[in-house]
Amino acid sequence: MIMDMDWLDSIFELEKECFQTFYTLDMLKSCSESDSYQIFLFFLLDKQEKNMDKTLIFLVSHQGVQILNSKFLRKKQDINSLKFFSNDQKPFIIGYAIFLTLEDFSVELLRLGIRKILQNQGFGTYFLNKIIEYYFLERKNDKIFLEVSEENQKAIHLYKKLGFRNYAIRKKYYYHNQSSALCMVLEKKFYNLNQNK
């Protein structure tokens, strides 16, 4: 399905909030229109209640929308037909992730953003963990790759907590600050689903 421009605008705003060098709106739109990319959206249903039970995680693709963390609704369908959305208020987007499918049963995390006001409260861990479960259990992928600036200690801590390990370093990879990129990988055979819940 073509992603609603409201959602793309929300992702773009989060991009600017989370990254010094951010994807443009056209870049995000291109990702949303390609079947090589998967875009995950993280919603808070009630802004006043900041807990995991009041969240939804969507995978938006050409096949529609799949709900990753809801016990009461898991089938693919159009985002606008979801019964728990009121007509006058859409849920509050608090995070997003963009992944690229690789050729060898693996995927790469390209972007991950959580609103700053909700960082360090477990939302990022919960969100990424649900996505990892999707790739390893439903899609049967073997590995998840990513690159992260060596200066982004919060992200590195999150990735290591979920089991990612360093396998290489790209010296002075990021042009805006000349920081190096840590190349990390999470392999399914080393991922403990019960430990990371």
Instruction: Residue 119: count other Cβ atoms within 10 Å of its Cβ.
Output: 16
Confidence (pLDDT) at 79? 46
Q: Which residue has the higher pLDDT, 83 or 41?
A: 41
Residue 8 phi, psi dihedral angles, 5° rounding:
-60, -40
Give, in degrees to the nearest 5, the angle at Cα 152 between 38 and 43: 40
Q: Give the span between the Cα atoms of 160 and 177, in whole angstroms.
A: 23
Average pLDDT in the 34-43 region? 91
> What integer is the mean pLDDT of 171-176?
76
Q: What is the chain's mean pLDDT, rounded?
A: 83
**pLDDT score for 176:** 72
Q: Which domains does the chain have, with CATH numbers?
A: 5-190 (3.40.630.30)
What is the dihedral angle through the alpha carbons of 118, 112, 195, 188, rounded to the nearest 10 degrees? 170
Our measurement of the distance from residue 179's CA atom to the centroid of its chain's CA atoms, rounded to an integer in Å, reads 23
Please report which confidence band the pLDDT of residue 195 belongs to, taking 50, 70 and 90 as the band edges.
Answer: low
Q: Say what the pLDDT of residue 78 is.
A: 41
CA atoms within 13 A on the CB side of 179: 14
Query: Does the pLDDT at position 93 exceed 50?
Result: yes
